[in-house]
Amino acid sequence: MDIQWLGHSAFKLVESTGTTIVTDPFDNIEVGYNMPQVSCDVVTVCSRECTETFKSCSQDKLPLLINSEGAFEVDGVHIVSICEPKGQGSNANGLCDNLIFKFRMDGVDICHLGNVNTDCSVELSEAIGSVDILLVPVGGGDTISAELAKEYVDLLMPDVVIPMNFKTRNCNLDIDKVDAFLRQFDDAEVVTATAPVQFDRTEFDGESTKIIVFNI
């Protein structure tokens, strides 16, 4: 399966069968990146703010929009969405403030933490379960800081970590750069990528953690 960073917390995940998921499409003006028009089968959004921009997935048929807690299956891809337990996981209207998504594609477990803004408790880590690839916000602001992001890495113990929600030259948001997060790891553990990265389930042995930083 392939992972491509589209900017901010938006990723394009493609299974070998061609089934494609796009996470958290965003508003170009507010965020600053140019959200590309991509074809996909599923759009997942972690919060109500993202729902308005899911039309950025452009194709002949409207993709399935997942913006609620539950378990789903689309063309063999298993998707679980978990409500973050922030104030018992809901706002005053009883709606979830943030959804954490777990995808199983080609036998690889990918976790997208969305706009998570709480400590990684044992209860939450147990709800998430095993993770091969962790997509984690690191820039602070409305999400967790670099230090809290490292706690998620330590508790979930993924083989691959891909930081998101951090300041770049193209980002308009008042958030931190990725540097503070990367300083918590050895240089040998950090690699950069500019194109989609392909993963195979045989690569995950649980022996080490690799940080992949995408550049746009």
In this predicted structure, what is the pLDDT of residue 121?
86
In this predicted structure, what is the pLDDT of residue 84?
84
Give the CA distances from residue 119 to residues 111, 122, 123, 151, in Å, rounded to whole numbers and listed in that order. 16, 10, 11, 8
In this predicted structure, what is the pLDDT of residue 110?
98
In this predicted structure, what is the pLDDT of residue 62?
79
Contact 210, 187 (CB under 8 A): no
From first to last of its 216 residues, the chain has per-residue pLDDT tens of 999 999 889 999 999 999 999 999 887 767 777 777 888 999 999 875 554 455 555 556 678 999 889 999 999 999 999 998 655 444 444 567 899 999 999 999 999 999 998 888 888 899 999 999 999 999 998 899 999 999 999 999 999 999 999 998 888 888 899 999 999 999 889 999 988 999 999 888 878 899 999 986
DSSP 173: S
Q: CA 21: distance to chain centroid?
A: 11
In this predicted structure, what is the pLDDT of residue 119?
86
> Strand 70-74's sheet: what is its strand order?
70-74, 77-83, 99-105, 108-112, 133-137, 160-164, 210-214, 190-193
The rounded distance, in Å, linking the Cα atoms of 209 and 17 is: 27
SS3 state at 179: helix
The first and second tokens of residue 80, run together, are: 């679980």
In this predicted structure, what is the pLDDT of residue 172?
82
With b for 16 or more beta-carbon neighbours within 10 A and e for fewer, the 5-21 pattern comes to bbbbbbbbbbbeeebbb
Contact 11, 45 (CB under 8 A): no
pTM: 0.90
CATH of 2-214, one of 3.60.15.10, 3.40.50.2300, 3.90.230.10, 2.40.50.180: 3.60.15.10
Count CB-CB contacts under 10 A for residue 153: 21
C-alpha gyration radius of the chain = 16
In this predicted structure, what is the pLDDT of residue 170?
81
Residues 6 or more apart whose Cβ sits within 8 Å of residue 146: 138, 139, 140, 176, 180, 181, 184
The rounded distance, in Å, linking the Cα atoms of 106 and 89 is: 30
